[in-house]
Amino acid sequence: MKIAHLSDVHFGRIAYPEIVDVIVAEVNAMGVDLVVISGDLTQRARPRQFEEAVAMIEAFEPPVLVVPGNHDVYAWWHQPFLRLFRPLRRYHALVARDLMPTVEIDGVAVLGINSAYGWTIKGGWIGQAARERVVSYFADQEAELFKILVVHHHLLRLTALGKHDVARHAERMLASAARAGVDLVLCGHLHVSHVAAIESVAGGRRLVIASAGTASSNRWRDPHRFANDYNVIDVGSAAFTIEERRYHPEARQFRTARQTRFDR
C-alpha cells in the first residue's frame, strides 16, 4: 500500500508555476494507491482557489481523501458572520460535504477528521463527535489493519519544532487515537516536514506522527526556508516507511530528502 501525503497546498500562494503539475505527474507515475491531503487547500477560501484545488484533486488518478484546514474557512475581516456560523460553506459546496471521510484499501484503514472551525484564529479544535468517531470507526476494523488518522492541526507539541499551535482538546484526541489502535497520524499546518515516533501517549501505545511541509506554496517557514515537501508512505506487512520528498526548482523535480522506517 503506497500513500502520497500532501498538505498546505495554498492555492493563491503557489511558489512556482509548474510545481502543482510536477506533483500530480509524479504521484500518478509512482503507483500510489491513495492520495491524502491534510488541509489548507487555499490561501483565503476564495472560489477560484477552491476551483484550482478541485482541478488538482481531479487530476490525480488514485482516489483522494481530503480534510480542510484553517485557511479553508472564511477570513475574519471579509465575512465575519459566515466565519462564525458557516465557516466551511465554500469547502462544502466546492470540495466535499463529508468532514470525516474514510478509505479502506489493501490492509489499510484511513479516517480523516476536521479540526478547522470559525471561532478559532489559526489553531484547531477537535470536538467530542470527532473523538467518538475515531474510536467507533477503528473499532469496526480488523485488528491487523494498519490504521491512519488524518487531521490538519497537530495533536501535541513536538520539541523539535519549537513553539507551535496544538489543537484544542488534542490530548483527548490522542487518548482516543491510542485507544482505537491508530498507528500513524498524518497532519500539516506548520509548513515543516517532520516525522517522529511518540511513545508516551495514553495507554503506552506508540504513535508515529508525519507532519508534511507545504507541498506547493511560498509560505515557507524556518528551518525549511524555501522548501516544498510532501510524503510518500509505504505500508508493508512487517514495517512501514515514510519518505520525505523535497522540491528542487532548478531541476523541476522532487527528490528524497529523508526516509524513515518503523517496524509494525
Q: pLDDT tens for residues 190-249?
A: 999 999 998 766 666 789 999 999 999 999 988 888 999 999 999 999 999 999 999 999
pLDDT of 90: 95
Distances (CA, A) of 97 to 5, 38, 94: 21, 15, 9
Q: What is the pLDDT of residues 104-162, one digit of tens each?
A: 999 999 999 999 986 666 779 999 999 999 999 999 999 999 999 999 999 988 888 88
Domain count, the chain: 1
Q: Quick one: which of 92, 88, 101, 132 has its CA closest to 38?
A: 101
pLDDT of 224: 86
pTM over 0.85: yes
CA 110 to the chain's CA centroid: 12
H helix runs in 30-120, sequence order = 47-59, 80-85, 89-94
pLDDT of 156: 87
pLDDT of 98: 97
pLDDT of 83: 54
In sequence order, what are the beta bridge partners of 2?
234
Q: Quick one: which of 161, 148, 154 has its CA closest to 233?
A: 148
- Mean per-residue pLDDT, 10-15: 98
pLDDT of 200: 63
More confident residue, 165 or 205: 165
**What cell was used for 22?**
510536477
pLDDT of 17: 98
pLDDT of 118: 60
Confidence of residue 32 (pLDDT cuts 50, 70, 90): very high
Angle at 149 between CA 29 and CA 135, to 5 degrees: 145
pLDDT at 174 over 80: yes
Q: What is the CATH number of the domain that holds 93?
A: 3.60.21.10
Picking from 42-46, 102-106, 184-188, 220-224, which range would have the lowest pLDDT averaged per residue?
220-224
Q: What is the pLDDT of residues 51-74, one digit of tens each?
A: 999 999 999 999 999 999 999 997
Domain that holds residue 79: 2-263
